[in-house]
Chain A
Amino acid sequence: MDDAGQLELFQQWFSDSIPHNKALGLKVVAVRKGFASMRLEWREELVGDPETGVLAGGPLTAMLDSCCGMSVATMLKEPKPFATLDLRIDYARPATPGKAVIAEAECYRITRSVAFTRAFAHHGDAKDPIAAAAGTFMLGTKGEVTRAQSIGEEAIGSETKI
């Protein structure tokens, strides 16, 4: 599958068909094995401090959670339901009002039961982060596997492509 096809597939299943991600307007901007990147546009509804226009922490939390989850999906050799076990977020500095936020997540280790991820959120310069995240995911949780959880192998393939 070519890069544009992959992006479209992940956009469809990790944003457009997940109601909260769709409501936030998350855009999938990059995906490859072990890596996922999303973009969130600034908008008034997402502001936490009306006096400064700074985004609330919540939209960043939701984006980082989703982006980490998407990086896990790219690593799965077979479809498996998974869920966030814990997520830590360090808020390095306030987001700049009016600017879009980019999240970049890496799944650096996956075992049979747990996947480990790290992520940063920034305005385009990864060296100047707004937030850093560490998320772990439990694999093989109850329930049916969702389409989002099953597209990794199909879109990325089992061979490493970095």
Chain B
Amino acid sequence: MSAQRERMIGARKSGDVARLADAIPYAKWMRIAPENGTGELLTRMRYHEQLIGNTFLPAIHGGTLGAMLEMAAIFHLLWETETETVPKIVNITVDYLRSAGPRDVIAAAKVTKQGRRMVNVFAEAWQDDRSKPVATANAHFLVKSADEPPAL
């Protein structure tokens, strides 16, 4: 059993969703982690100065918003679906709707279509007001369920 799969099962059993991010160096470096305090799986990117892309406004770098939307989609798939391996991203389209200020960013994801191998996920990110998203994304992931052969 891979360490990642063990962690996933451990996180599911304990209900401690934050453990999903523990083993991902990039998530730690970016301070991106899932949380489920409200009963809904959300992903939070904690504000720190290294996220800034425009010091004049100031605004968070668009690349980091794309990155956290991608992570939000991955955490959602790991938590809410039966996938037992880290989903492989095929592509992502990010729409930038508003500039994001120097504060935490929160994201939620949902599966638009679950196929046997391919999943289409929608994710949106906001700051103070969920009805005013700063960015949204659509992404495709290859997933495999436990009963399928490992080769994709």
Contacts and interface: CB of A to CB of B under 8 A. Distances in A.
Q: How large is the interface on B (under 10, 10 to 19, 20 to 34, 35 or more residues)?
A: 35 or more
Contact of A18 (B27, B55, B57, B89): B55
B52 A86 contact: no
A86 B95 contact: yes
B25 to A, nearest CB: 5
A76 interface: no
Interface residues of A, number: 38
Interface of A is mostly: mixed
B49 A57 contact: no
Interface in A34-48: 44-48
B66 A50 contact: no
A20 B30 CA distance: 10
Interface in A79-118: 83-91
Interface string A1-45: 000000000000000011111110000000000000000000011
B119 interface: no
A85 B3 CA distance: 38
Given A20-B61, A61-B66, A83-B99, A48 B26 contact: yes
Contacts of B99: 83, 143
B66 A143 contact: no
A23 B50 CA distance: 6
A146 B57 CA distance: 9
Nearest to A56: B26
B91 interface: yes
